[in-house]
Amino acid sequence: MSGQLTRSDLKVLCGEWWFAMQDETGHQYGFCWYKVERRPPGVDVSWKLRLAFPGGSYEEDRTMVLDKALQLVSASYSSGGDFCKGSVIGTRVEVLLGGSQPEKTSKTISVDVPTDALPGMDFVMASWLPLVQGAELRYSGVNESAGFKLLGPHVLEVVGRETVQIGGAGVECWKVVRRPVEGTDSPGALPLWLSDDHRILMADWGGGNFMVIADKSAEALFK
């Protein structure tokens, strides 16, 4: 099925996956993990990122909850004691913000969001697309780490087949790109490479940072 998709065209892929975080030379400096499971009211997505680098480290956790129609119910972000948790109520998100510093006393704000909004974990849904060149899912991006700031129209698009180097070998993959529609206030494109069975094998986060499919042993890369 090519062309513009609706969420009813998506097929949720459940499971959990581990990735090594590495630079363009192959140096590994951390891991990420995500899990997709069906739970009431629909689908839960959990994400963990842990990076270690000279002089410091970075840790973040995110969640995304969708209903049975794959519409956003809630999302959260936490890192270094700061957090943002939002629940959708109609066309608004009630957002709880807070942090570990005195100037970041917890507060609640209300933000307007489009009914098709998706947070930063939207890229996981690349695995749910039919892998047919030209298939695309359009939606409104929001940044849950910045109080659910509206980022504007986005698209997840199946670009086609491409061979990439993974683990020192050439692997033929489906390339899917998450990108903002031109002119929107958003970070650049996120290319992802998927296996024929819809698993994300690699993603290019930009700046020479890649996540590459691994197993649970990747957890040891965060030291």
Q: Which of 205, 103, 92 is nearest to 147 (CA)?
A: 92
Q: Which of 20, 18, 41 is nearest to 29 (CA)?
A: 20
Number of folded domains that form the chain: 1
Q: Collect all residues with Cβ–Cβ distance below 8 Å to 118 and sequence separation of at least 6.
A: 64, 72, 125, 139, 140, 141, 142, 154
**What is the extent of the structural domain holding 179?**
3-221
What is the model's pLDDT at position 102? 57
Q: Collect all residues with Cβ–Cβ distance below 8 Å to 183 and sequence separation of at least 6.
A: 152
DSSP 129: S
Q: Which of 120, 33, 115, 43 is nearest to 84 (CA)?
A: 120
175-200 residue pLDDT tens: 999 999 875 445 579 999 999 999 99
**Geometric angle at alpha carbon 207, from 209 and 12, rounded to 5°:** 50
| C-alpha radius of gyration, the chain, whole number | 17
What is the model's pLDDT at position 40? 87
110-142 residue pLDDT tens: 999 999 999 999 999 999 999 999 999 999 999
d(CA 152, CA 40): 28
d(CA 70, CA 73): 9
What's the average model confidence in pLDDT over 4-10?
97
Q: Collect all residues with Cβ–Cβ distance below 8 Å to 58 and sequence separation of at least 6.
A: 30, 49, 50, 51, 79, 80
Percent above pLDDT 70 for the chain: 94
43-69 residue pLDDT tens: 999 999 999 988 899 999 999 999 999
What's the average model confidence in pLDDT over 82-101?
88
The pTM score is 0.92
What's the average model confidence in pLDDT over 83-105?
84
What is the model's pLDDT at position 132? 96
d(CA 24, CA 22): 7
Number of H-type helices and E-type strands within the chain: 0, 16
